[in-house]
Amino acid sequence: MAENKPKKLKNVKNPVHNKVAVYDAASITVLEGLEAVRRRPGMYIGTTGPDGLHHLVWEVFDNSRDEAMGDFADDIEVVLLPGGIVRVADNGRGIPVDVHKQTKVSALETVMTTLHAGAKFGGEGYKVSGGLHGVGVSVVNALSSWLRAEVHRDGSAYVQEYAQGKRKATVKKIGSSKLHGTVISYAADAGIFTGGIEYDFQKIVSHLREQAYLVKGLRITIVDARQNEAKMPRPGEALYIRESLTSSPSQSFYFEGGLRSLVSFYNRYQKPIHKNIFYIEREQDGVTVELALQYIDDIASRVFPFANNIYTQEGGTHITGFRTALTRTLNAYGRKSGILREAQENLTGEDVLEGLTAVVSVKLREIQFEGQTKGKLGSVEAQGAVAGVFAEAFSEFLEENPDDARAIINKSVLALKARKAAKAAKDSVLRKGALEGMTLPGKLADCQSKDASESELFVVEGDSAGGSAKTGRDRRIQAILPLRGKILNVERARLDKMLASEQIKNLVVALGTAIGDVFDVSKLRYHKVIIATDADVDGAHIRTLLLTLLFRHFKPLIEGGFIYIAQPPLYKIQKGKEVFYVYSDEEKEKILGKDAEVEQEGADEELSTDERNPSTSLRTGASGTTVSEEGESSSVASSTKKSSKFRLQRYKGLGEMNPEELWETTMDPARRVLKQVSIGDAADADRVFDILMGEDVSMRKSFIQSNAKHATLDI
């Protein structure tokens, strides 16, 4: 057989430009200093959107927190100042300012301008830290239009300023100081964060509150002085500035209870099934393990993993060790105590997690994360340390607290029975669909396209809206699923009860992802799932019930950006042959003006808007230019015929629109307005769903009363 030798290629041409592609040493670009960070910021902070912007705050704060973890600091202040400036101060040792032997510049400048430079790679600078690559504060420097570092140490105060990661001058001694600590002030670069420099104060408060629980004895103060007229203090003038900002919103946290207090905080709106919160802090094989847990009367689980105080949202080896030990320990105690009968099968990991609130925190000297954003712990030694420490301590807890132990085992046994019932119900649904040869519900008007990336599913309220939508849609890419009435509130419903609901079963089958342990997001049949309900109280309730279902059982669809809420117009305004579709009362007033002569169509009174407030100021239907929040626009010639009288129609439901109107205003990708559903803070979202959709009426009433002033009513 002849040998197939590779062909020798000469002068390879670019097929697009038909030019010879030269690839030699001159083609290699070397990025110096922090230029690589500015070119590819996503590699270091994940995104240049709001999450990346807040990640800068976490990076600067983490350096101060690491000082506290080493018992070198006990007070950290974070201040949001006018002009997008963030100021973080601590009373730690202060970054060294003497000349670094290797870089020949000050240690401060080395840390601020060099990737992979810091005191966390060896020696005794830090025994435990959240830093891994030594890129944190240097990345913040690179992505800031301006940054100032102030250091108080050894009786003196020093300062150095930077612009886009480059020093403006050498480190300067500005006087004597009796203080010790570091102050980092910076302004994120608007050229990098093109979505705007807007910090979410509550998001920062939530994150730093959590950190205060994780470091016992640390005081953390957050001040929102963005509306304050106070100016930035001069370099070296003060370590903390909160005393001069007493009129600004602020919060301060200090906890001695550690993770036990944090679990209690997470469960403050829940009903515990056992009184005592389990807690252990112990070191094994060089790994410090701190863990607290409590079971509540709920079907969801909440496990919060931390490694060196970094929230590892994707889990990692410490969570693997915890879950293994939890399942094994509860099975062993259940058999020994007789609560688990011999004929009964063992509890699974799924069973023992139901209703669990747990915080698992490990601290390691040499730590390995997967990725710079530290979403998953990879340190192998953490798994064995957590499993060993937790199994021994939890076994003792169960023996010493038999009432608590029985409540926990019974809770898990109930979950086991429910799991088996849910599996039978799920299998029955799938099997029935296959035998009948009808995997899609009859109510679904499917689209022609089989390409999920271009396909859309409109979930509409009622057969009337469904009829208009089916007639007015683009049949090639748009599918319609009408719902009859309000679906089941799934906040505390198990899978078998959910699948007994025809409305939920239809939606599950239409999505194509299945549900429960066989859920597979890759099988989603539509990459836009659009909730389209009426602009009234019932419509808002149905939308909330659907969002509860999606959040509890289809969360990856929200996280993947597949869920949207349609924004149909509130009003139709006609003036002669000119037609305007209006999405808010503000837009309506702009069109009508103060002295307009208005003829109200129908018997309905003019109503105010609900939560709709699209960013565009004017959207028109059959005439004028329309702009959607999806970024598409189209122009249609408008009539020049004039009339002095406006005709106003208030839409209360999608069923009131004819197919043409529904297409023009709500379904046409070129003109519609969609709001994408996202999860800003999973813990806060979880809490709100618990309150609003749970069984505690008094708690829900209190929440509504407390937040009534933020509501926009549609009465």
Q: What is the mean pLDDT of residues 311-332?
A: 94
Considering only residues 43 and 317, tell me which one the structure prediction assigns the higher pLDDT.
317
Residue 254: predicted pLDDT = 93
Considering only residues 237 and 562, tell me which one the structure prediction assigns the higher pLDDT.
562
Q: What is the mean pLDDT of residues 84-104?
A: 90
| Nearest alpha carbon to residue 592 among 544, 633, 650 | 650
The torsion angles phi and psi of 8, rounded to 5 degrees, stand at: -85, 115
For residue 257, what are the β-bridge partners?
none
Output helix, strand, coil percentages for the chain, rounded to the nearest 5: 35, 20, 45
Q: What is the mean pLDDT of residues 331-355?
A: 89
Tens of pLDDT, residue by residue over 31-62, are 455 777 877 777 778 788 888 899 999 999 99
Q: Are 132 and 369 in contact (CB under 8 A)?
A: yes
Q: Is the pLDDT of residue 623 over 70?
A: no
pLDDT confidence of 253, banded at 50, 70, 90? very high
- Of these residues, 189, 381, 446, 461, which one is catalytic? 461
- Of these residues, 74, 161, 536, 714, which one is catalytic? 536
Residue 259: predicted pLDDT = 92
Residue 353: predicted pLDDT = 94
pLDDT confidence of 602, banded at 50, 70, 90? low
Q: Is the pLDDT of residue 123 over 50?
A: no
pLDDT confidence of 10, banded at 50, 70, 90? very low
In this structure, of 130-144, 264-278, 670-684, the range with the lowest mean pLDDT score is 130-144
What are the helix (H) ranges across 436-521? 462-472, 495-499, 502-511
User: What domains are defined for the chain?
Assistant: 37-253 (3.30.565.10), 260-420 (3.30.230.10), 571-650 (no CATH), 683-715 (no CATH)
Sign for the CA dihedral angle at 488, 490, 491, 493 comes to: positive
| Nearest alpha carbon to residue 111 among 180, 43, 173, 60 | 60
Q: Is the pLDDT of residue 604 over 60?
A: no
**Cα–Cα distances in angstroms (integers) from residue 379 to residues 224, 324, 363, 385, 638, in the given order:** 37, 17, 11, 11, 65
Give yes or no: 656 in active site.
Answer: no
Tens of pLDDT, residue by residue over 486-513, are 888 887 787 778 878 888 888 988 999 8
The torsion angles phi and psi of 250, rounded to 5 degrees, stand at: -150, 160
Residue 558: predicted pLDDT = 92
Q: Are 523 and 513 in contact (CB under 8 A)?
A: yes
| Nearest alpha carbon to residue 227 among 243, 208, 247 | 247
In this structure, of 20-29, 166-175, 264-273, 663-672, the range with the lowest mean pLDDT score is 20-29
pLDDT confidence of 644, banded at 50, 70, 90? low
- Of these residues, 67, 351, 534, 610, which one is catalytic? 534
- Angle of the 380-400 helix axis to the 402-435 helix axis, nearest 10: 120
Tell me what percent of the residues of the chain surpass a pLDDT of 90: 43
Give yes or no: 351 in active site.
Answer: no
| Cα 608 to Cα 616: distance, rounded to the nearest angstrom | 18
Most confident of 110-124, 317-331, 510-524: 317-331
Contacts of 702 (CB under 8 A, 6+ apart): none
Residue 114: predicted pLDDT = 82
Give yes or no: 297 in active site.
Answer: no
Contacts of 44 (CB under 8 A, 6+ apart): 37, 135, 139, 372
| Cα 686 to Cα 702: distance, rounded to the nearest angstrom | 17
pLDDT confidence of 300, banded at 50, 70, 90? confident
Predicted structure pTM score: 0.66
In this structure, of 62-66, 457-461, 542-546, 604-608, the range with the lowest mean pLDDT score is 604-608
- Of these residues, 35, 454, 538, 585, which one is catalytic? 538
Give yes or no: 538 in active site.
Answer: yes
In this structure, of 44-48, 156-160, 183-187, 212-216, the range with the lowest mean pLDDT score is 44-48
- Give the DSSP H or E segment for 172: strand 172-176
**Cα–Cα distances in angstroms (integers) from residue 495 to residues 429, 682, 690, in the given order:** 12, 22, 18
Q: Is the pLDDT of residue 11 over 80?
A: no
Residue 711: predicted pLDDT = 60
Give the end-to-end CA distance of the chain in Å, rounded to a whole number: 84
pLDDT confidence of 534, banded at 50, 70, 90? confident
Quote the Cα angle for 317-323-329, to 5°.
130
pLDDT confidence of 712, banded at 50, 70, 90? low
Q: Is the pLDDT of residue 630 over 90?
A: no
Residue 49: predicted pLDDT = 87
Cα dihedral 170→176→180→186 (10° resolution):
-40
Residue 638: predicted pLDDT = 38
Residue 699: predicted pLDDT = 65
Residue 632: predicted pLDDT = 38
